[in-house]
Structure 1
Amino acid sequence: MTSTESKGRKRHSAIRARHVASSFDTAAPNERFDRQSIPIQLVRKSVTSTFDFWVQLSTNMSRRLGWYPRVEPYVSYGTEHYSRLICRTVLSPPGPQTSSASRGIWTALTVPAPHTRVSLAIDSVPIQSAQLGDFEYYDAPDSRRNQSSNSIRSDRSGYLDLVAEHNLSVGLHELTYHVPGRSLVSAPIYTIPTSARIGVISDVDDTILVTQATSKFKASYNLLLSNPTKRVSVPGMSVLYTRIHDLDPQMPFFYLSASPWNVERTIRLFIQDHGFPSGPLLLRDLDPRPKTFVPTSVQHKHEFIRQLMADFPNMRFILFGDDGQRDITTYTDVVRRYPGRVLAIGIRQLGPSETSLSSLGWSNSRPAPDIDVPIFYGTTGANLMKTMLPYLRHVC
């Protein structure tokens, strides 16, 4: 075989993604599986084994029913020089792919399509070289790690996490995905200028979307059974975010949620329908893992904030959260870890009907954190706007 034939064969052979890992899998010493008590080890083994069995069983049954792979596209982001691209391949019946939101119970039962060949293009230009992502550490773009091919195979859970280097103009671009036998599906890529000075990182659950996350029963009902088109927005938050965005039209918005990637479309449509500034969603994979089991909301937020800080080293951030899921503690740690990078913190205070005082991660009776960044409190967007917006107008 000639070298040209060898290169051609390699070109047509799909890059195979390793199983997407994350810092949740890199267990801290006190989280290591072998340091847990025997009952906890047995419970975790049984849950992970049951989950793996269900995935294998549902995959086999779906294929017997004639289901075949399609792509669930997720909103991506990047700079003029590279983009972070995430999607998932799943099994579904023949027919057109719906673009509407579904009840969470159906999205939670999504059947992955492992090791599926996917072709990608940005603005109709095929991606022929990409770096396989790995959240176990910060994935700085590195051309030495690029792999060349016309397509890439998803991992054993159906996920693709890629870093693609390129030269793109600032603004919105279209990323298209294709798997054999299916129509093209697309998702936007937010190309953010490296010169952007200020960005917003916002929690979703109970910060802009009423989920009652501090109550496991209510949160589960809202996530799995409630009508996604009737989800309630926190009063005044969309107006506050729009006013902040008006201060600088180049200001990017990033939305963090502890919800699984399965409901990405539902949250994206919620953000669109309720008038929030558009932006990429950074969600988490809730598949039970053998080391740290299911990642916590705090771990998830730390991981992606760390990634955004590295992706945009010259950007300062405005952080939004609520007082029901330890967001103040998390954001205080971020301020101390990244001095000078946080401009302000906005905390939406939950009302008595949304949570009990004992479940709050923070209350007004506790001392304020000792940081040099102002923290603004309010039960609604209108309350926060009165104090926070004048300050942001001054510093921006």
Structure 2
Amino acid sequence: MQLFSFLSILLTAISVKARPVERGVFDSVGVLDDVLLLDAPAFPDPANSANTVIGLQAFVSLRQIDLGALTTGVEAALKTIGLDIGDKLSNVQERIRLFGAIGLSGKNVKVDVGGCSQLASLTTSGLPDLGMALQNVSVGTCGGAKQFTAQVTTSGLDSRTFNATVFPSPNSGFGVISDIDDTVKVSNVLDKVALAKSTLLDDPVPVTGMPELYASLAKSLNSPQFIYVSGSPFQLYPFLNSFIDTTYSASKGPILLQNLTLTNVQELLDFANSNGILEYKLAMIDRIHGMYPNKKFVAIGDSTQKDPETYGEAFRKFGGDFISCSWIRRVDGANNTDARFAEAFQGVPANKFRTFTDADIPGLQNINVAAGEC
């Protein structure tokens, strides 16, 4: 069965609970609300380099979620493709929780970033990105820490905390743009049943050798800004963020995910079928270029979906001073033909990209990327 059919059943089960709720504009976050504050990149303010701008993103939803009905629907959907939840109930409930969240528009999210002189404020949007807020916000002058903690300010009646990490980086030096699924995490994108299993049931597994490779890049490139760009929906953020924080602790960084909500079903189905991922990832690279136009980025991905085409197009748009090198993992069963890579990297010098197998991963640590090798 195709993942399209699986997600159609899953969405039917979820959409019963996930009805949009409108709120008055500029409502504060209260005890009846939940907030997902995502880790964020930070960069020097182009208008005043002494100040820092943060690309903040938050999702505000109703606090109460009925996981019982939602779990039942997901369990039934998994059974149609031959999967049984078994003893993985806690994993499933943790990963589907945000799919049942009811987003709230017009919520004013105030964020205090430790070490910075100004509070940040952003407001959640209405349809189609109900409950989501994404904005570049100046927070004034900040200290010289490698990371900052951002915290949503809530009313005095609410003792909960909603925190995220801010990763500041100068508009110079190196960075790494990385895919997640089948690049750093085994997701089995090409096997639809295995993909559902790895996403909803199993504990995440890294691609062998990639944590060590990323730790090596973190050292040799002098603490580059790692940014993970994935076509997955933001509802999977807690799962993916926990995986990056623990398995890739030496190369932590913000994760950029698609702002898909259950009121925009077609976009989620497009994600499941790999449609729209090229455009989405190119848009995210545009956003990254806007933050760090003078950084040199190593772009790392795999051959299952559109990473070669994405990085080739980004090179043609911004040049080799921005996308200094592209590495593509050859995944068994994907289109790994020379013709595909030649077309994807048309116009890109041969010494600006490479493809690699799993056996090649340890040797990638010996490439002196800082000196211009690729």
| Root-mean-square deviation over aligned CA pairs | 3.3
- 2:257 alignment partner in structure 1: 283
Structure number, greater radius of gyration = 1
Q: Which amino acid aligns with 2:324?
A: L
What TM-score results when the alignment is normalised by the length of structure 2?
A: 0.72
Pick closer, same or farther for the CA change 1:54–1:361 going to 2, 3 Å.
farther
Does residue 375 (structure 1) correspond to residue 353 (structure 2)? The answer is yes
**Cα distance in structure 2, aligned partners of 1:379 and 1:286:** 32
- 2:182 alignment partner in structure 1: 206
Check whether the contact 2:328–2:356 (CA below 8 A) recurs between aligned residues. yes
Compute the displacement of 1:234 (Å): 0.2
- 1:113 alignment partner in structure 2: 104
Q: Percent identity?
A: 19
Mapping of 1:1-396 within 5 angstroms? 55-56=18-19, 68-80=32-44, 81-93=52-64, 103-123=94-114, 127-128=118-119, 152-156=122-126, 157-165=130-138, 166-170=140-144, 171-180=146-155, 181-182=157-158, 183-194=160-171, 196-223=172-199, 225-227=200-202, 230-276=203-249, 277-287=251-261, 289=264, 294=270, 296-340=276-320, 341-351=322-332, 356=333, 360-364=334-338, 366=340, 368=342, 369-370=345-346, 371-372=348-349, 373-380=351-358, 383-387=360-364, 389-392=366-369, 394-395=371-372
User: How many aligned positions are there?
Assistant: 306
Compute the displacement of 1:59 (Å): 9.1
Output one character per residue of 1:128-174: Cα deviation in whole Å (capped at 9) or x when no partner: 565xxxxxxxxxxxxxxxxxxxxx54223111212221222342111
SS at match of 2:312: helix
**Cα distance in structure 2, aligned partners of 1:79 and 1:379:** 34
Check whether the contact 2:117–2:142 (CA below 8 A) recurs between aligned residues. no
For structure 1, which segment, 259-268 or 290-299, has the greater mean C-alpha deviation from structure 2 after superposition?
A: 290-299
SS at match of 1:390: coil
Unmatched segments (≥5 aa) in structure 1:
1-47, 61-66, 95-99, 131-151
Compute the displacement of 1:216 (Å): 3.4
**Cα distance in structure 2, aligned partners of 1:177 and 1:298:** 33
What TM-score results when the alignment is normalised by the length of structure 1?
A: 0.68
Check whether the contact 2:110–2:120 (CA below 8 A) recurs between aligned residues. no
Q: Which amino acid aligns with 1:350?
A: V
**Cα distance in structure 1, aligned partners of 2:166 and 2:313:** 30
Compute the displacement of 1:274 (Å): 1.3
Compute the displacement of 1:346 (Å): 1.0
Check whether the contact 2:177–2:227 (CA below 8 A) recurs between aligned residues. yes
Q: Which amino acid aligns with 1:122?
A: V
Q: Which amino acid aligns with 1:316?
A: K
Compute the displacement of 1:290 (Å): 9.0
Q: Which amino acid aligns with 1:347?
A: I
SS at match of 1:209: coil
Q: Which amino acid aligns with 1:76?
A: A
Q: Which amino acid aligns with 1:163?
A: N
Check whether the contact 1:69–1:116 (CA below 8 A) recurs between aligned residues. no
Compute the displacement of 1:51 (Å): 8.7
Compute the displacement of 1:178 (Å): 2.9
Check whether the contact 1:326–1:362 (CA below 8 A) recurs between aligned residues. no
Q: Which amino acid aligns with 1:376?
A: R
**Cα distance in structure 2, aligned partners of 1:114 and 1:328:** 37
